[in-house]
Chains A and B, each alone.
Chain A
């Protein structure tokens, strides 16, 4: 098991390097330098700026400089927000995004999981069909449609909740963004859990447990739940990635000063170091999550654990 964990951890390193290389090349291959917007720069100033940001060096040189900085946690200075480093900007934006993402994931797991289990246990009843239809709708309506609809209904028409981050305080201003972000995940998880539990419930070992006279609740608790929830564990990685993506939209619609909005702004500002820094930050997050999921799988599945 330890060997498995070690090998799996090591195998994440080349993936990470690949992300850094691809992102770096993309940013540097982009037409137009970071200062192209600042109309007429005297030639001296331009070359000074280039020198200050090491843009006059060769690409491998710049990459090496960037990589060694990265190892020390230094993501370089921001081109746009000249008084800040990229690390500071990301550091400021992370807490609110993390709160938003974590709350949505917890909500999605709880509601989606419960709905999926309930639907599977009442298979082919009106309840099951209702959950299935709602879940399918939830998957099909994108976040950028759900979020504005929420604003329209709950903020504009009903006026229950604030339409933007700055328009409210505390829990109030979290409600709509968290739900909007969680909704597609709730739907996906409900479908996933329903399908997987139905499959497990029709397997031979559940028939054995029934023949052994175990009650329905015991069968669910001791025999069915764990194998049925295993696919959910492997979905956590993609789910996290989906929530990060959704956060870009939700943060910009609700005006939340999080990482998603920072990313979008940095893109529009052509703030390349910041863009690069955030992409790498996201990549590390996703790779780390996938790693955790794989390790969790190893712990939970006796067939992998035994190796």
Chain B
């Protein structure tokens, strides 16, 4: 529990943006978890007598059905599950790599730091998404690969931010004070520097998740993500585009959910940054 977090907690309670967007995300997550359990339909079951049905209350077809007669509500919810799972896991991967890499580079400093950051700079210049597409094409759309690919893109930002913070914190006088007392470097990194990174890491984690959602949906939209009959929001949007003219709800419903989810994540990240990031609050 850091001092910044402590004083931030009060502002956190006051921030309507944070509370509102967190509530929206909670509802979406809950619906994604429970929706498929409650509905009488299964996301895999095709039914050729019930193709392209419009949304209706009857038979609990809230979102209607798709071109194979599968229930769109259940598919959308299970797609949301997949999208969220991929995004959260991928963000966690990028968090672990980014924080470790950034903190080590920042604390080591000097030549090690310079070399490590040169690599990050070089990776930044790569058109990563194209390499990911290449990867997906080459390796047969391996589900695990999606996590790795997205994590590989997103850790760069985290590493840069954590490294910058560590570098600044390391030069702070309280670190010198700890060194003079005789606190060992490992303990300084763990007890004096890391707690002060917490706020900024939380903020950038919330901003990394929507990016990961976007990348996953993008790949699924191109048909390079999850494979049928499993689905994700991007794949559902793609399918909706195919039936755009006759049954627009196949596009509109999953697309709206995706947009609302991204919007809520972005608002949450923004709100948290306002509350937690000290750089946004110069005295």
Direct contact of A and B (CB under 8 A): yes
Partner of B139, one of A15, A18, A30, A151: A30
Given A27-B138, A290-B125: A148 and B266 interface contact (C-beta under 8 Å) = no
Of the stretches B31-39, B54-62, B127-135, B193-201, the one at the interface is B127-135
Interface of B toward A, CB cutoff 8 Å: 121-122, 124-127, 129-131, 133-140, 210, 214, 217-218, 221-222, 224, 234, 237-238, 240-241, 244-245, 248, 251-252, 255, 258-259, 262-263, 265-267, 270
Cα–Cα, bound, A141→B237 (Å)? 12
| Complex contact A22–B127 (CB within 8 A) | no
Given A26-B135, A142-B258, A151-B244: A249 and B126 interface contact (C-beta under 8 Å) = no
Question: What is the CB-to-nearest-CB distance from B265 to chain A, in angstroms, rounded to a whole number?
Answer: 8
Chain B residue numbers with a CB within 8 Å of A279 are: 127, 130-131, 134
Partner of A26, one of B134, B252, B265: B134
Of the stretches A115-123, A206-214, A267-275, the one at the interface is A267-275
| Complex contact A253–B241 (CB within 8 A) | yes
Given A26-B135, A31-B139: A144 and B237 interface contact (C-beta under 8 Å) = yes
| Complex contact A149–B251 (CB within 8 A) | yes
Cα–Cα, bound, A275→B136 (Å)? 12
Q: Which 9 interchain pairs have the tightest Cβ spacing?
A: A30-B138, A140-B262, A140-B263, A267-B137, A145-B255, A15-B122, A282-B127, A148-B241, A144-B221
Partner of A244, one of B121, B127, B139: B127
Chain A residue numbers with a CB within 8 Å of B134 are: 23, 26-27, 267, 275, 279
| Complex contact B130–A282 (CB within 8 A) | yes
Partner of B222, one of A140, A145, A148, A248: A248
A70 at the A/B interface (Cβ < 8 Å)? no
Cα–Cα, bound, A26→B132 (Å)? 10
Chain A: interface size category = 35 or more
Partner of B210, one of A29, A140, A151, A152: A140
Chain B residue numbers with a CB within 8 Å of A245 are: 127, 129-130, 218
A283 at the A/B interface (Cβ < 8 Å)? yes
Chain B residue numbers with a CB within 8 Å of A275 are: 134, 137
Given A27-B138, A142-B258, A142-B262: A156 and B130 interface contact (C-beta under 8 Å) = no
Chain A residue numbers with a CB within 8 Å of B267 are: 136
| Complex contact A152–B127 (CB within 8 A) | no
| Complex contact B222–A18 (CB within 8 A) | no
Give the residue name and chain of the A residue nearest to B251 (CB).
Answer: A148
| Complex contact B263–A283 (CB within 8 A) | no
Chain B residue numbers with a CB within 8 Å of A30 are: 137-139
0/1 interface trace, chain A 7-33, chain B, CB 8 Å (1 if under): 000001011001100110011011100
Given A136-B267, A283-B126: A148 and B138 interface contact (C-beta under 8 Å) = no
| Complex contact B122–A140 (CB within 8 A) | no
Chain B residue numbers with a CB within 8 Å of A244 are: 127, 130
Chain A residue numbers with a CB within 8 Å of B121 are: 15
| Complex contact B131–A149 (CB within 8 A) | no
Give the residue name and chain of the A residue nearest to B224 (CB).
Answer: A267
Give the residue name and chain of the B residue nearest to A14 (CB).
Answer: B122
Cα–Cα, bound, A15→B123 (Å)? 8
